[in-house]
Chain A
């Protein structure tokens, strides 16, 4: 479990995260959303120990990640937005690094690389940005780590790559893993992320499962505007709008619309999810 208590972090005078408290359960794929500059990447790097909180605590599996102890490092993997290249061939690179993760599976790495269409004997220096990202994604999932932090993993991936990424996440992630994905490309990950965390400047606006969101908000794909609509977007031939689900009806969550609704009605959404 990941436990964040009263976490604060700032870059000089620019406070990014302030008083953040949340829990992340095992066996879930968390979607970390937020506008530019709210601190998504900062939160990820704090969770994997690349930064240390200025106040508050972060515990990953009960330990402070900033201590960077080998045992906790071998339990997690951080996939940065931009990944490093190497002079080595993909499989050699993966196997040389994989020995440090006790659950690393060369077979899984090979299977994912095949699915991504990247050659195992290709030198990483000769790969395109997308191929390099795919190689790192394949390695991240092949480590079998219990905590995987991914920063914009679908950036730079082609259209088939995004589908393959979703498929790889579903196939190769251990059941008890906690995956945290920070992204702006919500449509790429719409069907796999659950729960959803929406960060605001110095606040967590929403941390709820898809089921919880569905029970409290109704996503209406219709032609008439609802008076209590929190956010409306015009589509060809109608609207998509979101409003409080007072009748307990079922609907399909549209994460982009949800995000906009939350961003425009911060206090109302917080109240809506705090009550009941």
Chain B
């Protein structure tokens, strides 16, 4: 009974939390998932009012999806776990007979995995239906709009210009980034969801505002720190890599830094969430 992680009890707690999420956030998740249809409806309604005919706006899906994910990673953690600091909800949640690690894992799983999967799934269904019914106005399905090649070209060009060259992509087509667009999206979601989850359980009031301020402050500090590092550190080795026409080495450095940064940005807040769950008092 006192096992720190009991799979049966964890499943029961996850089920309880999913039921609660469905009751408290189900409609919000549905609306976020339906965002392409809502946005498409608004755009076409205005078009009909102004010009009397429907217009083609093929960015509707990608805009709505980005909006849903950003809003989702802010709203879901704050709405679902913000009440933990409230005496009424918090004491009830803390007194449920599940271990701290089970409660923490459930929080992370719901906000970082299950909620985005639900939003993405509903968005993709909505997107598919819109593409099927209004193909001329809506365009192709969302998955085809994640232009992986364009993004890679953009990143290659950026890396090349850091190395002192212009954005000519010739000769660097073979570079591997070991990261897909979906990977970038997932890492971003996790990073922001964890950060807003931390804000939700740390701040008693004005959770959104205070978390956003902290995020802005952190971004400023990180920008200044990275600028300082780039300015003061000896980057000869990296520049040599470009001039030696071995940009893969530089890309590998950058990707390693990116992964380490993402890991730090997700793990540090996660640690503080764990500490908070462990020591939360009412």
Give residues of chain B (1-20) contacting chain A, Cβ–Cβ below 8 Å. Answer: 1-3, 6, 9, 12-13, 15-16, 19-20
State whether A84 touches B89 (Cβ < 8 A). Answer: yes
Residue A52 interfacial (CB < 8 Å): yes
Q: Per-position contact with A for B10-46: 1 when CB-CB < 8 Å, else 0?
A: 0011011001100110000000000000000000000
Interface string of A35-72 (1 = CB under 8 A from B): 00000000001001111100000000000000011110
Are B19 and A88 touching (Cβ within 8 A)?
yes
Q: Does B149 sit within 8 A of A, measured CB to CB?
A: no
Q: Which residues of the other chain, A, contact B2 by a CB distance below 8 angstroms?
A: 69-71
A83 touches B95 (CB 8 A): no
Q: Would you list which residues of chain A between 65 and 81 have a CB under 8 Å from chain B?
A: 68-71, 73-74, 76-78, 80
Interface of A is mostly: loop
User: Is B97 touching A74 in the complex (CB atoms < 8 A)?
Assistant: yes
Q: Which A residues are CB-close (under 8 A) to B200?
A: none
Contact with A along B266-282 (1 / 0, CB 8 A): 00000000000000011
| A97 engages B96 (CB within 8 Å) | yes
Name B86's closest neighbour in chain A (CB-CB).
A84
B21 to chain A, nearest CB (A): 10
Decide: A80 near B91, CB < 8 A? Known: A70-B9, A96-B15.
yes
- Residue in B12, B96, B281 whose CB lies within 8 Å of A73: B96
Number of A-B contacts (CB under 8 A): 74
User: A84: which of B3, B16, B88, B99 is its contact (CB, 8 Å)?
Assistant: B88
Kindly state whether residue B94 has any CB partner on chain A within 8 Å: yes
Task: Say yes or no for B244: interface residue by CB 8 A criterion.
Answer: no
Task: Indicate if the CB atoms of A73 and B23 lie closer than 8 Å.
Answer: no
Contact indicator A83/B88 (Cβ below 8 Å) = yes
A52 neighbours in B (Cβ, 8 Å): 281
Considering only CB atoms, which chain A residue lies closest to B282 in the complex?
A50
Partner of A71, one of B1, B16, B100: B1
**B135 within 8 Å of A (CB atoms):** no
Residues on the B chain within 8 Å of A92, using CB: 19
CB distance from A191 to the nearest CB of B (A): 28
A68 to B87, CA, bound (A): 17
A residues 90-122 with Cβ under 8 Å of B? Answer: 92, 96-97, 99-101
| Chain A residues positioned under 8 Å from B94 (CB to CB) | 50, 68
**Known A70-B6, A70-B9; contact A83-B97, beta-carbon cutoff 8 A:** no
Given known pairs A50-B282, A77-B95, the reply for A86 and B23 (CB within 8 Å) is yes
Measured between beta carbons, the chain A residues less than 8 angstroms from B128 are none
A70 touches B99 (CB 8 A): yes
Q: Which residues of A contact B92 (CB under 8 A)?
A: 80, 83-84
Which B residues are CB-close (under 8 A) to A49? Answer: 95
Partner of A50, one of B12, B19, B83, B281: B281
B89 touches A51 (CB 8 A): no
The residues of B that contact A86 with a CB separation of less than 8 Å are 20, 23
Chain B residues in contact with chain A, CB under 8 A? 1-3, 6, 9, 12-13, 15-16, 19-20, 23-24, 83, 86-89, 91-92, 94-100, 281-282
Given contacts A45-B91, A50-B94, 12 further A-B contacts (CB under 8 A): A52-B281, A69-B99, A70-B6, A70-B97, A71-B1, A74-B97, A83-B88, A87-B20, A87-B23, A88-B19, A97-B96, A100-B12
A interface residues (Cβ-Cβ under 8 A, vs B): 45, 48-52, 68-71, 73-74, 76-78, 80, 82-84, 86-88, 92, 96-97, 99-101
